[in-house]
Amino acid sequence: MPFTTEYQNSINPLSIVVDVASENLVPRSVWLNHVRRVPMPTETQTVEVPKDGELGRLVLPENVQYTYGSYSEFIQTSVLLNPIKSVVISRLTKEAEKFGRLALASKIGMEQGKALGVGMEEDIATLAASFSSSLVTASPATQLDLQACALNVQISTNGHAVQDSSIVAVLHPKTAFEIGVENVLDPTTGALQVFANPNSSSISGLEAQNRERLNGFVAEQYGVSIYRTNIVDDDTISYRNLVFDPSRALVGMWDDSVQALEQLEIEFFRNRLASCHFSDFEIYWDEAGCRLEAPVL
């Protein structure tokens, strides 16, 4: 009916939760930015992500018959992804809805989105423990440790040219601090100059500052882009930092937005606001990552 205020004309808590939760899924992500992403399935829950097969050449002189070997056998393997749902449910009383409806619904949406985003980061971080290659140090991590892990990744590129590989390191802040302050004390004042060595960073101060605000970027040292985050797996003794090729080490799929449900609990006159999100992550190429284990204490 014309000129009548209808339900769709008003802002309801459910639409606010969906919008705000979706906006807060990835802004604070570090790990998620370095995962090879594949599309979500539509008619099946399990997706097979194929890996590149390998073939080699044989130098063949004139009038010599080709000899078949392992270099001529094409074998393709794959990784399975099975997206599962994560859920965050909050209760909203009628009093809260009546006297603080818009502000509370927005805040709940923001916090639910952050919780789902952190959950994805935690899922990816735990994969570091499953990489076969690792470097364990009982003392504070050093730049040499970082470069040794990077070298391990570069010489294990699985048939890909080294120059085709980019290397990133996702580190716990303590490990990043240890690597950053090594051999960069100001010789005059003795003050710590974290990542101040001009030979260690090719990123301008302003650019580094902007990138850190966006995705945890700290510095670039000898070809390794360093990121830091508090979401790093540990076994209470060592942080399981990861140095890896982001195009090959990890693969995953995730929804761009959340789904939301609203349910009335009539006995208490309150609403349930629930956000639901699907994602899954796996190691893609095991040799494309090297775990750097540095002490927690």
* Residue range 215-263, pLDDT digits in tens: 788 888 888 999 999 999 999 999 999 999 998 999 999 998 888 887 8
Q: Is residue 1 part of a domain?
A: no
pTM: 0.79
List the domain range (segments joined by +) for residue 200: 10-57+77-295
Give how many domains the chain has, as a whole number. Answer: 1
- Whether the CB-CB separation of 193 and 186 falls below 8 Å is answered with yes
Q: Is residue 181 part of a domain?
A: yes
Q: Would you tell me the crossing angle of helices 13-23 and 94-125 to the nearest 10 degrees?
A: 30
Average pLDDT over residues 4-11: 42
Q: Is residue 5 part of a domain?
A: no
Please tell me the predicted confidence (pLDDT) of residue 190. 55
Q: Is residue 62 part of a domain?
A: no
Q: Is residue 105 part of a domain?
A: yes
Q: Is the pLDDT of residue 210 over 70?
A: no
Q: Is residue 64 part of a domain?
A: no
Please tell me the predicted confidence (pLDDT) of residue 188. 58
Residue range 123-144, pLDDT digits in tens: 999 999 999 999 999 888 988 9
Residue range 94-110, pLDDT digits in tens: 777 677 655 677 778 88
Give 159's pLDDT tier (boundaries 50, 70, 90).
very low
Please tell me the predicted confidence (pLDDT) of residue 199. 40
Please tell me the predicted confidence (pLDDT) of residue 62. 92
Q: What is the CATH number of the domain that holds 262?
A: 3.90.1690
Q: Is residue 63 part of a domain?
A: no
Sign of the CA dihedral with 119 first, then 107, 20, and 273 last? positive
Q: Is residue 215 part of a domain?
A: yes
